[in-house]
Amino acid sequence: MQNNFFTGRIPLKLASLKAIEVLDLSQNKLTGEIPKDLERLQNLNYLNLTYNNLEGEVPRNGVFGNSSQIILDGNFRLCGGIPELRLPSCPIPKKTKKNQKLLVIIISIVSSLFAMILISCMCLYFYRRSRHVKNDSSSMPSVKDNFSRISYHELQRATEGFSQENVVGTGNFGVVYKGQLDQQGVSLLTYCSSMDSRGNDFKALIYDFMENGSLDMWLHPKTLNESRLRNLNVLSRLNIAIDVASALQYLHHHCEFVIVHCDLKPSNILLDNDLTAHVSDFGLAKLLPKTSIASSRNGKSSSIAVKGTIGYVAPEYAMGGEATIQGDVYSYGILLLEMFTGKRPTDEIFINDLTLRNYVKQSSTKEGSAEEILDHFLSSRDEEEDRIEVEPHQHGSTNANFLRGNSYSILEMDCIFSILKVGLKCSEISPNDRMDMNEVTRQLQHIKDVFLRTEKKIEHLTIKVCNIS
């Protein structure tokens, strides 16, 4: 970020970039003091602030404790810091009697206010505690009440010393390892809040291992062999879509606080041994009050602006919009379209004004072209088998068609069409035009019910035909 004519103070939020290693803000027009919070960046090993207009005392800890890792030339009003920097000493401000007297008055007032607040809080605490004893069911148990805490050393043993061979993946907030614990269960098993072997803070959440990896691995196999091993048919993908929709429905409408995931994508959908989908990675999730459901429909929210993954982020976020449940619905719509087309929203074919949504919308309106946009790895349920398929008509009559090989039955195409329509509706540009997850879940479950009921009728008809022949 050097030589960009940046003005103003160095943003305090830079101190939240815990993984940053190199920061170069040289040759700008930055003013004010160097944020002391930058001392906390343990991975920062190079900081260049040369030729700005910075002033005030230079911090002494973290990266500022090593003169070979920081460059401060050209900031003539800096002072203090470690001796190796050879900066002038900072002046000691003179305290007048008037200032001292004013300080004593301020401290007295603040102390009195603090004492009053403390007493009020204690009274409120004991009052709520007495009510809690009377009605224990009204309170929500804490994490500590539900889970026994595991130690850092137990995790170290379970992961064989956090071996690279046990790394499942990395995210914005840490590394994911697989390991073997004695405890068995579902969902969150336990947690760790401790110190590591170097004395640093260490926090971890321990979940069941998802044996079938992420949905991304199934939708986008890297080799031909993987494509053969990981092949999802229409019904399997519909089941996964319903699992994810149900999870979002719970987060949006059935939690004490509204939870906006903010980063829904195939790599954050994990599949267990039965191919049941689990929504994971809540690193960017936001908690909103219940009133946010109504306010978010009007484009308002109490949360801060968010970042997600390119291609899945709702368009209003790019304009500085804040986290809303409609943003999650948009991401889900893109995910649904990707599941049945096999195309990432960032695929190289999507250039200029062509997007995944437009690609599906245009193809679904052209007769005979809809099947061409479907995922090449999307298998028919009865693939490579001869079967009789039945096309239902408006007046209840049926028309039997013999299909072979990898062709989709009319029933499967009707199912896919209905799912793509849901995906298009979820990914509408305007947040107010999108479905909510209650309606999405209801429609997808209805599509599945119709699919299974009709399929049973077809199987029954097939048996009848075979008996006659």
Query: Beta strand 46-48 with 387-392: parallel, antiparallel or unpaired?
Result: unpaired
Q: Collect all residues with Cβ–Cβ distance below 8 Å to 394 and sequence separation of at least 6.
A: none
CA 24 to chain centre: 29
Q: Collect all residues with Cβ–Cβ distance below 8 Å to 205 and sequence separation of at least 6.
A: 188, 191
Give the count of beta carbons closer than 10 Å to the beta carbon of residue 301.
24
Catalytic site residue 216?
Answer: no
Give the count of beta carbons closer than 10 Å to the beta carbon of residue 104.
10
- Give Cα separations from 166 to 158, 169, 180, 226 (angstroms): 10, 9, 10, 21
Judge residue 466's burial from the number of C-beta atoms within 10 Å of its C-beta, 0-12 exposed, 13-18 middle, 19 or more buried.
exposed
Of 413, 173, 427, 432, give the one whose Cα is nearest residue 280. 173
Q: Identify the three-state secondary structure at position 171.
A: strand
Give the count of beta carbons closer than 10 Å to the beta carbon of residue 168.
14
Q: Identify the three-state secondary structure at position 42.
A: coil
Of 130, 202, 121, give the one whose Cα is nearest residue 159. 202
Q: Which helix (H) or strand (E) holds 188?
A: strand 188-195
In the chain, what is the greatest distance between 2 CA atoms, to the nearest angstrom?
111
Distance CA 240, CA 397 (A): 32
Catalytic residue among 73, 243, 263, 449: 263
Q: Which residues are catalytic?
A: 263
